[in-house]
Structure 1
Amino acid sequence: MPSVLQRHPRYALLSAFLLLATFLLLASHQTPMTYIYSAEGADWVKDRVAISERIYQKTLMEREGLIRKFGPTPDKITSFPPDEEPWPPYTLWDFFPAAFNCPHEIERIGALGDGGKWVCGMSRVVTKPDCIIYSVGINHESSFEAELLSRTDNCQVWGYDFSVHEFGPEVQDSPALLRRAHFKPYGLAGTNAHGPEDTNKMYTLQSLMALNGHSHIDILKVDIESWEFETLTTLLRSYMVEDQPLPFGQLQLEIHVWDKKFPEMLKWWETLEDAGLRPFWTEPNLVYANYNRGGSPELAEYSFLNIRGNNIFISNEEFERARKVRHGPRE
């Protein structure tokens, strides 16, 4: 028995047209995204970073849409809308998601509570012979630095904090760890400055690195109570003007947005992005939120990967160079 399409050829043409139109309509609403990794032996890490960057750029477009929705311009957005009608269902942190994918394992280093940080690719650090860690902001808690030291035999940690005189007890009470830990009561700032009688010494990151004879830092942890805005702006722009990659592989940063307006935060955050920093992890500071009941969640921890340059977290080439220095070439 002939089918309907055989008896009515026009139905077949109409069906084919509808199928084609549906396909084209669906295709026009999808963002092309290729997930293809290199063959064995190639730099698969760079492939993963490239895919993550395409995903991140999509997130930036979504951020622009969110600003238009609740703004429609940045100056019209309240960082933490008051609990009153009409109530926009967002907070400042919704505009800055940690949308970048670390190409390696992610794990928390240090305490599960305040003091611990999320790190991308700890396995890359363990095998690096000249591993350099900078930690700015100690405040009597060094579980992060202690775990980095205890899990490696090659990392050196430089700690800075003008408000204390030594590392926290996690490092200070361990002679084995102290052999690879170096503390100075200095602060990190946008310019070098010394107080009366040479107290409250403040240094730029470039100056601290020069004092130590370092050209690169693998992990940089910064917790400087809202001075990150001024300090990082000056630091990043000094490298961006020269079109040079930042001198560190990743950044663990606590952001304090006390009294910051949304346009100011947005401009500063875009400077981080322009310099090559991509957030791969975030969490609110719940200790601060719990102790300030009824207040805004103004503190958040972020971890960033630097996708510019040739550091061990984004390049197998640099990782293999470091491995050969430590173990020698493979047979």
Structure 2
Amino acid sequence: MFHLFSTNTYTNVKECVNFAVSKSDTFDGESKKSELLSYQQSFRFFDDIPDEDWKRIQEIKRRTWPNHNGKNPLDKYSHRMGTKDWKRQSNWWYAENFQEEFHCRFAERLPASGWDGLGDGPKWVCDPYRIAKQKDCLVYSIGSNGNVMFEAGVKDQISKNCEIHTFDPGASNKRFGDFGEALKPYSTFHQWALGTDKEAKRRKDIKTLDMTVTELGHEGRRIDVFKNELCEWSTFGDWLKYDIRQILVETHNAPNPGIRDFFYKLHDAGYVIFSKEGNWQNQCGGAEYAFIKLSTDFMIDGSLYENYLDK
């Protein structure tokens, strides 16, 4: 991982004070922050990264593009769900495609420790302390199966004032008991899943993201963290309609015909991958991705997939 700031050792108090004054002159005040490329291209999330460092980060990101094996991420491995070797195919595909392309200096896994079963449940979040500095914080957690550790991690490592909403069509299981009761200290539980318009018309326990946002009165609000465990391939288009800062998603069963559109469209909407890890406890077959949204101005030299497809 590269560092966004240089580290220096100061030999005397005077030198340290002079450094502090110079940094204060550079970054004090909203007007100074607004001049930074990092501030402009991150929708005010990164407000302290010098332009020289930010341009280096841009160049590192550019070098990863296109972020997949060969000319087409669907070329090398076929989709073999239901066959004996589908997990091997999936693992190979994830090993060769869509790697980390951006690094958050203070990313944290939520929760970091203190829980049983930390292999599958915690999620990487980019610089939680930056979210904590905001006036408010809104988190959606799609799919929990009664596991509350992520929600607890948000309260502990971001802010107790974060407003969290957890969605799951199930109500209870043997391991975690009643979902609503388990989540009560951390989150508001809603007993429905997110799905497509067609699915929502067929089942009462499925709602679209549009229906959900409207029902909860969140129109016009930014969703700071959107954690999704279910139906990513069919619902991701709805995510792009909203102001979502970070997307944490467990992807499954790659490759499939829609997977290229998933990664291409998220990228071209400004989402860059800052974390990727395999679901080791389930013999992989899937991967945990974390994206943060930047302005497409961050993508230098025309490094958007809409341009790649034209070649």
The answer to whether structure 1 residue 52 and structure 2 residue 57 are counterparts is yes
In the alignment, which of 256, 280, 283 is matched to residue 286 of structure 1? 280
In the alignment, which of 288, 298, 301 is matched to residue 301 of structure 1? 288
Please tell me the root mean square deviation across aligned C-alpha atoms, in Å.
3.6
Q: Give the distance between the partners of 1:230 and 1:189, measured in 2 at CA.
A: 7
| 4+ runs deviating over 6 angstroms | 35-38, 80-83
Structure 1 residue identity aligned to 2:234: E
The corresponding residue for 1:232 is: 236
Deviations 1:155-176 (A, max 9, x none): 11101011235995798667xx
Q: Secondary structure at the match of 2:205?
A: coil
TM-fit CA distance, 1:190 = 3.0
TM-fit CA distance, 1:124 = 1.6
The answer to whether structure 1 residue 191 and structure 2 residue 185 are counterparts is no
| 1:189–1:203 Cα contact (<8 Å) kept | yes
Deviations 1:237-270 (A, max 9, x none): xx3xxxxxx4111011000025x34x64223210
Aligned residues, how many?
241
Extract unaligned runs of 5+ from structure 1.
1-34, 84-88, 240-245, 290-296, 310-331
The answer to whether structure 1 residue 161 and structure 2 residue 168 are counterparts is yes
The corresponding residue for 2:95 is: 93
| 1:190–1:235 Cα contact (<8 Å) kept | no
Structure 2 residue identity aligned to 1:123: Y
| 1:109–1:117 Cα contact (<8 Å) kept | yes
TM-fit CA distance, 1:235 = 3.6
| 1:146–1:170 Cα contact (<8 Å) kept | no
Tell me the TM-score normalized by structure 1: 0.62
Structure 2 residue identity aligned to 1:307: L
TM-fit CA distance, 1:75 = 4.9
Aligned pairs (5 A) from 1:205-244: 206-214=210-218, 215-224=221-230, 227-236=231-240, 239=241
Q: Give the distance between the partners of 1:168 and 1:129, measured in 2 at CA.
A: 33
The corresponding residue for 1:108 is: 109
Q: 1:55 to 1:194 in 2, by over 3 A?
A: same
| 2:179–2:189 Cα contact (<8 Å) kept | no
Which of 1 and 2 has greater Rg?
1
Q: Secondary structure at the match of 2:65?
A: helix
Q: Secondary structure at the match of 1:129?
A: coil
The percentage of aligned residue pairs carrying the same residue is 24
Q: Secondary structure at the match of 1:115?
A: coil
Extract unaligned runs of 5+ from structure 2.
7-22, 40-50, 86-90, 297-311
Q: Tell me which of the two structures has the higher relative contact order, counting C-alpha pairs closer than 8 angstroms and 6 or more residues apart.
A: 2
Aligned pairs (5 A) from 1:23-34: none
In the alignment, which of 238, 247, 253 is matched to residue 251 of structure 1? 247
